[in-house]
Amino acid sequence: MPRVRPSIVVPLVLFGGGGLAVLGVAVFFLANAWFGVPVGAQGPVQPIAFPHTVHAGAPAEDGTGGLGLSCTFCHRNVEQGAAATVPAVEQCMFCHAAVGGTTETAQAEIQKLRDTAKVGEPILWKRVYRLPDHVQFVHDVHVRLLSQQQGVTPSETCSTCHGQVETMIKVTQVRSLKMGDCVDCHRQYTAPTDCAICHY
């Protein structure tokens, strides 16, 4: 066996180890990006800090709970078409023309809302859930089928894909909704898995 000089072994071990560590970190990030919930899982910063807890959270006895609005009250198109849609400013103003908020932060946020309404411009909400452009998703079939199957109201089906939004102060993505995720569920329900259902 040829003798290996320690002057080669030391840097080899050092740099080899360092290389492995770098590789390990890279593999971790790649695997995370590929299999995990997309990067930015904290959710984007919204122009107005709109809390789902206050509006959609279940009302509590002592008045600390939310208003208990149903999801379909605001996301009106969810049973009619592809996009769930986010409500127009006018719809927020049904209430917020009168409701100014009790705490200071609430007042500040609601003031932003009122200012936007005065200008007559839409609020530029940032998307939380976003599939790539080459995928076509439709809400209505899913919501209808899940509510029939589970015997619940349409609003209670949202948690299948979006998690407990009513307990989120800020909406964050909880389910990966990558192709494998979609197709797994489609197989489970014997829904179509033809590529042309989702890609066109």
116 binds ligand HEC (CB under 6 A): no
Question: 59 in the Ramachandran plot: left (φ > 0), alpha (ψ -120 to 50) or beta?
Answer: beta
Q: What is the CA radius of gyration of the chain?
A: 24
Which segment (3-11, 12-20, 23-31, 44-52) binds ligand HEC by CB under 6 A? 44-52
Nearest to 161 by CA among 181, 180, 141, 179: 181
Cα separation, 54 vs 70, in Å, equals: 12
What does 140 bind: other proteins, ligand HEC, none (CB cut-off 5 to 8 Å by kind)? other proteins
What does 168 bind: other proteins, ligand HEC, none (CB cut-off 5 to 8 Å by kind)? none
Which of helix, strand or coil describes residue 59? coil
Cα separation, 55 vs 38, in Å, equals: 27
Cα separation, 195 vs 48, in Å, equals: 38
Whichever of 65 and 137 has its CB closer to ligand HEC, that residue is: 137
Q: Of 18, 99, 115, 187, which one interacts with ligand HEC (CB under 6 A)?
A: 99
CB burial readout 185-194, b (16+ within 10 A) else e:
eeeeeeeeee
Give the tokens for residue 179: 């192709």
Q: Centre a 10 Å sphere on the Cβ of residue 71 and count the other Cβ atoms it contains.
A: 23
- Give contact residues for other proteins (rule: CB under 8 A): 80, 82, 132-134, 136, 138, 140-141, 144-145, 189-192, 194-197, 199-200
CB of 152 to ligand HEC, least distance (A): 10
CB of 114 to ligand HEC, least distance (A): 10
**Contact pattern from residue 154 through residue 173 relative to ligand HEC, giving x for each residue in contact according to CB under 6 A and a dash for the rest:** xx-xx-xxx--xx----x--
Q: Of 37, 76, 87, 117, which one interacts with ligand HEC (CB under 6 A)?
A: 87
Whichever of 10 and 100 has its CB closer to ligand HEC, that residue is: 100
